[in-house]
Amino acid sequence: MPGDVTCLLCPRRCRIPPGAAGDCRVRVNLDGRLLAVTYGRPVAVHVDPMEKKPLFHFLPGAEIFSLATVGCNLHCIHCQNWEISQADPGEHDVYDLPPDRVAAVAAHEGCRAVAWTYTEPIVFYEYTYDGSVACRERGLKTVLVSAGYANPRPWRRLCGVIDAAILDLKAFSDAHYREVCGGTLAPVLEAIRIAHEEGVWIEVLNLLVPTRNDDPALVDALVDWMLTTLGPDVPLHFTAFHPDYRLKNLPPTPTRTLLAARKRALGAGLHHVYVGNVPGGEAECTWCPACHARLVHRVGYRVLENRLAATGGRCPECGAQVAGVWA
Amino acid sequence: MDPVHPEPSLPSALCRGRRACLGALLALAVLPIGRLSGPTPGRRPRWWARVLPLPTHLRGGHPLAG
C-alpha cells in the first residue's frame, strides 16, 4: 500500500502501514518515516553484577549499568521478562535517558561497562548504537545481551561498537524456534558467527526447557556447531528454565539435566561450560583448560577469587592463556 | 474422440477444492504463525508513556533476567 515502510532490521522484514508498528511494537511508521519510539526511553535501569548477564570471561566481578526499553522481535512462550518484552511502549512509565546521559550516569555510578539487556536491544537498535558510541567515548565497555534475531547488515554494523555479547541460542532446532519463540534458527546462527568474526567477545547461552529442547541430541548438535564455527574457547552457559508467562505447565529444569549437558559439552571438547540459575558448585567456576586449576571462584553472582585479573588471563599454575577479557 | 486433457467432472473438481480447503485449514492450525506473532499487523500501538525521573538507588535485587 502507498505510505507503507519496510523495516529491514530483522528477518521479519515487517511491512508497516502509516501510524502502525512492526511486530516488535516499538518501530513505527510515522508519516512515512520508520521511527524507533523508545529511543532514549528505557523502562528498566539497574546496576547489576556482570555475572548476572551472564558474562563469565569479561571483567569478572565488575558492575555493569544495565538498561532496556520495551519490545522484542521474538515471542518466547517462556519469556522471563515478558511484562516488558511483550508490552507496548505506552504500557509502562519510562525514564528520560538519552545516549550521552546513559554514559554519564553509568560513569557516575562507578560502572565499567554498559549492557543493553533484559528485552531485545535489536528492536531499539538506534538507541543501542548511539548509546554504545557515547559509552566508548567515556571509556566504558559495551555489552549486548541478545537473541541475535537480526539481519546481517545492521547486526555487523552494531558489532563495530560492542565489546562483548551474551547471545541466547534457544535451541539447535528450527522447529523449537518456530513453535516456542516465533522465529527461525538460521539468522541466529549467522548473527553469532558474525559477532565472533567481528571480534566481539561472545558467550553463548542455552536455556534448557524440559521436554522442549533438553534432548541430548540437540545439545550435541549445538556443541558441534560451536566447536566447528566458533572454536573451543567460546564459553557456553546452560541455564535453568522456570515456569513463566505462557509456559507454566512444565517443571523447572532439574539440576541433573544441566550438569549432564555440561558434561557432554566438556566431553565433546568445549573448554568452558557453565551451569546457571543453580548457585554453588564447580559448574559456576572457571577452570584452566590445560591444568584444571580453579582460576575464578564464583558463588551465585559473587566472585570470591579471580586469579586471572593480575596475570592478563594467564593461568598462574601452568601459564596457559585463558580466553576472555580479564581486566 | 477423447480429448487430450479432459475437463474434470463437477464432483471431482469439488472434491479437489474441498481437499485444498482442508489443507489450508490444517496448515493454519499447525503453523505457529499467528499464535506466536506479536501484535496484529497494522494495529496502532499505545506508545506515549509517562516519563519519570531516574531512581537514585539503582543497585540490588531486581528480578529481571539478563
- Structural domains of chain A ordered from first start: 39-278 (3.20.20.70)
Q: How many CB atoms lie within 10 A of CB B53?
A: 7
Out of A23, A81, A88, closest to residue B66 by CB = A81
Angstrom distance (rounded) from CA A164 to CA A198: 11
Angstrom distance (rounded) from CA A168 to CA A121: 12
Among the listed residues A143, A56, A65, the one whose alpha carbon sits nearest the alpha carbon of residue A102 = A65
Measured in degrees and rounded to the nearest 5, phi and psi for residue A248 equal: -105, 0
Question: A73 contacts in B (CB within 8 Å)?
Answer: 38
Q: What is the pLDDT of residues A94-123, one digit of tens each?
A: 999 999 999 999 999 999 999 999 999 999
CA B44 distance to own-chain centroid? 18
When pLDDT is cut at 50, 70 and 90, the band that residue A247 belongs to is very high
Out of B36, B48, B55, closest to residue A75 by CB = B36
Among the listed residues A260, A266, A274, A200, the one whose alpha carbon sits nearest the alpha carbon of residue A230 = A200
Q: Which residue has better confidence, A253 or B29?
A: A253
Out of B53, B54, B66, closest to residue A118 by CB = B66
Out of A68, A91, A109, closest to residue B58 by CB = A109
Q: Where are the domains of chain B?
A: 10-37
CB contact under 8 A, A90 and B49: yes
CA distance B20 to chain A (A): 24
Dihedral of alpha carbons A224, A283, A45, B47, sign: positive
CB contact under 8 A, A25 and B38: yes
Among the listed residues A150, A155, A146, the one whose alpha carbon sits nearest the alpha carbon of residue A55 = A146
Out of A91, A94, A118, closest to residue B64 by CB = A118
Segment among A17-31, A302-316, B40-54 with least mean pLDDT = B40-54
Q: What count of Cα atoms within 13 Å lies in the side-chain half-sphere of residue A102?
A: 35
ipTM over cut 0.85: no
Q: What is the pLDDT of residues A161-184, one digit of tens each?
A: 999 999 999 999 999 999 999 999
CA distance A87 to chain B (A): 10
CA distance A317 to chain B (A): 33
CB contact under 8 A, A90 and B38: no
Rg (CA), chain B: 28
CB contact under 8 A, A86 and B50: no
The mean per-residue pLDDT over the stretch B49-58 comes to: 90
- Strand ranges for A50-118 from DSSP E: 63-68, 94-95, 113-116
- Neighbouring-strand partners of residue A299: A302
Question: A247 contacts in B (CB within 8 Å)?
Answer: none
* pLDDT score of A2: 87
Residue partners of A168: CB distance under 8 A and separation at least 6: A145, A146, A147, A148, A205, A206, A207
Residue partners of A88: CB distance under 8 A and separation at least 6: A21, A25, A70, B39, B45, B46, B47
* pLDDT score of B34: 43
Q: CB of A13 within 8 Å of any CB in chain B?
A: no
Angstrom distance (rounded) from CA A115 to CA A203: 14
CB contact under 8 A, B42 and A20: yes
CA distance A215 to chain B (A): 21
When pLDDT is cut at 50, 70 and 90, the band that residue B35 belongs to is very low
Whether the per-residue pLDDT at A272 is higher than 50: the answer is: yes
Residues belonging to chain B with any Cβ–Cβ distance to chain A shorter than 8 Å? 31-32, 35-39, 41-55, 58-59, 62, 64-66
What residue has cell string 570470591? A304
Question: B51 contacts in A (CB within 8 Å)?
Answer: 41, 93-96
When pLDDT is cut at 50, 70 and 90, the band that residue A278 belongs to is confident
Whether the per-residue pLDDT at B23 is higher than 80: the answer is: no
Angstrom distance (rounded) from CA A179 to CA A184: 9
